Chain A
Amino acid sequence: MNTDPGAEKIRSRKFSRWFLFLVVLFVLSGVAFLIGLNTGEMDISLWEIPGILRSGEGLEYTVLYQIRLPRIILGLAVGGGLSLSGAILQGIYRNPLVEPFTLGISGGAALGVALAIVFALPLAFGSYVLPAAGFSGALLAIFLVYNLGIRQGQINVNNMLLIGVMVSFVSSALMMLLMSLTTAENLHSIVFWMMGSLDEPDRTLIRFTVIISVASLIVSLFFFRSLNALRLGETDARHLGINTELSIRVMFVIASLLAGVCVAAAGVIGFVGLVIPHLVRILAGSDYRMLLPGSFLGGGIFLVLCDAIARTIIAPNELPIGVITGIVGGVMFILFLSRSGTSLKMS
């Protein structure tokens, strides 16, 4: 083996670039956090915040601690979760257009919620019913996609993708059926839920979402080898010693459960799972060791900032966050693609 003094330099340069990118994302998360704390109906200056939090009382404390803080934390967890889920799904399907919603996960969740509202379950059983119904709907969709995607004992990603799209269509048709038959009041609740919101008063639900999000990030990092190898196609990945069948199954279940939890907690927030992983790919490359944490942090930052816009742009009213993520994300993405002259880096 000829010695090659450049190798160490090349290696350390690559890893320090990743490290730097993650540090920047961490700093940006902090910035987004502060912006989130600072924006809202009540004018609280950034410099007063530490004092108010220390005092632990008063109206300002309640606004910061009871309203804004939980929103930001939920935003980081849901944005990160959706984006992570998108990055993983794009990886196992090797398709740049896949996100949690292409696979019918949100369709199933929305149908579950609509059914719960139409049958007035929240009145009967309390506030946990909607997220529970959403999650059950998502689970049903995941179950269908997973099981119908297996042919002759082997998983077929193209089948799964088509079945996901069909599940999505069928559930949106059923949704429309429900919406056309139900009362105006129910209709309003369904539409409101579907547009998504980070306004979630229940702390347990927020805690649960945060735990699931972070746990999914950690578990998926253990699969970086498989996800990286799958960029070369399933056959090549197997030749590199990857048990692709097992990896795809585990990764699908993790990514879709994560998306199900996020949708159940915050409603249908589109675009995060599609756009953020692609932006991270354009900026930092398609290596999953970088892509997974990068997408997680990037998604959180994006959602918290979108939420800040949604809360202030027509204050004192509030826009549905899905509107902002769609417009901001879509425009940002088109600009990026046309400016940088890059194509979608799908590997």
Chain B
Amino acid sequence: MSEFLKVRNFSCGYRDKFVLEDIDFTLKKGTMFGIIGPNGSGKTTLFKGINGELKARSGSVILNDRKIGEMSYRERARSIAVVAQHIHATDITVEDYVLMGRLPHREKYQLFESTEDYHIAHHFMHLTHVYHLKDTYMSRISGGEQQLANIARALTQQPDLLLLDEPTSHLDITHQVQILNLIQKLNEEMKLTVLMIIHDLNLAGEYCNHLLMLNKGRIFKQGSPDEVLNYQVIEDGYDTVVVVRPNPVSGNPAVFLVSDKVLKQKDK
């Protein structure tokens, strides 16, 4: 049971285009797992493979001893919640939007949400601090608030596994930290297993307890942040010169970039 999500010799991809190969890793229950890697390395493809959007070409993704590919959409939505990067900002109130997370739990012919559904949705709206926006349209709130509502909806699904696709991209540092702190709190207090694609290596090092780096459709390196966020690994994986130092407060690895000009001066 502690081996909660197993990805075994997994391969998937798009029609005669990009392919992921030999993906093999295990996610323990309660991990905060980060997928990193340069653009085009297959992060999103892997994400789609895990949530069942893309079919496996070989190998399998097994969640709680069941193959993802053999689960119905509804079963999948009960155990995996996805926070996508882009939100269709629609004319639907935040409350109704979050309540949509109860859809996979609704009985087949149940027309109305139960009071229980409302309780769950309100609980997570309070937790993500969007309750005061409940009667506002999704299209009228800021990007950061939309992301919070999106997370509230995913939590309302009461999943075993939360998948997030770059939850902090396009957000200012206030919201980046607010959202990652929230996810960390859920991970620790609710023992929610989290798997996220994260672009920012510093945030990845600060918040995740396990990292997987992809490169050209294969696993390049996986392990603890200290193992993966090593300057040599990053320089090979990203083909970029970096300096890694521990964060002075948390001690987690922090990545610094250096401009070409400075590098040349140093060389002399």
Contacts and interface: CB of A to CB of B under 8 A. Distances in A.
B73 A347 contact: no
Interface in A304-341: none
Contact of A7 (B75, B91, B119): B119
Given A1-B123, A11-B118, A240 B15 contact: no
B233 interface: no
A346 B78 CA distance: 27
Interface in B147-172: 157
B74 interface: yes
Interface in B51-96: 51, 53, 72-78, 80-82, 84, 88, 90-92, 95-96
B185 interface: no
The SS class assigned to the B binding surface is: helix
B104 to A, nearest CB: 4
B103 interface: yes
Interface stretch (A46-54, A123-131, A208-216, A229-237): A229-237
A53 B104 CA distance: 51
A39 interface: no
A242 B123 contact: no
Contact of B73 (A152, A231, A232, A241): A241
Nearest to A239: B82
A240 B120 CA distance: 16
A235 B53 contact: yes
B122 A7 contact: yes
A242 B91 CA distance: 20
A57 interface: no
B88 A236 contact: yes
Contact of A241 (B92, B103, B120): B103
B245 interface: no
Contacts of B174: none
A8 interface: yes
Given A11-B113, A233-B88, A347-B91, A242 B103 contact: yes
Contacts of B84: 235-236, 239
A199 interface: no
A243 B120 CA distance: 24
Interface string A219-250: 00010110011011101101111110000000
B49 to A, nearest CB: 14
A289 B73 CA distance: 22
Chain A: number of interface residues, binned into ranges: 35 or more
A7 B118 contact: yes
Given A152-B15, A242-B73, A232 B122 contact: no
Contact of A239 (B81, B88, B113): B81
Contacts of B157: 240
Nearest to B118: A7
B92 A231 contact: yes
With a 10 A CB-CB cut-off, give which of B84, B104, B113, B119 has the most chain A CB atoms: B119
B2 to A, nearest CB: 26
Nearest to A229: B103
Contacts of A346: 90-91
Contacts of B104: 240-241
Contacts of A232: 88, 90, 92, 97, 100
Interface in A256-292: 285-287, 289
A228 B101 CA distance: 12
A184 B93 CA distance: 56
A289 B106 CA distance: 14
Contacts of A183: none
A248 to B, nearest CB: 13
Contacts of A6: 122
Contacts of A345: 91
A3 interface: yes
Interface of B: 15, 51, 53, 72-78, 80-82, 84, 88, 90-92, 95-97, 100-101, 103-104, 106, 109, 111-113, 115, 118-120, 122-123, 126, 157
6 contacts: A2-B126, A4-B123, A10-B95, A11-B112, A225-B106, A243-B73
4 smallest CB-CB distances across A and B, nearest first, come from A241-B77, A241-B104, A7-B118, A347-B90
Interface of A: 1-4, 6-8, 10-11, 15, 152, 222, 224-225, 228-229, 231-233, 235-236, 238-243, 285-287, 289, 343, 345-347
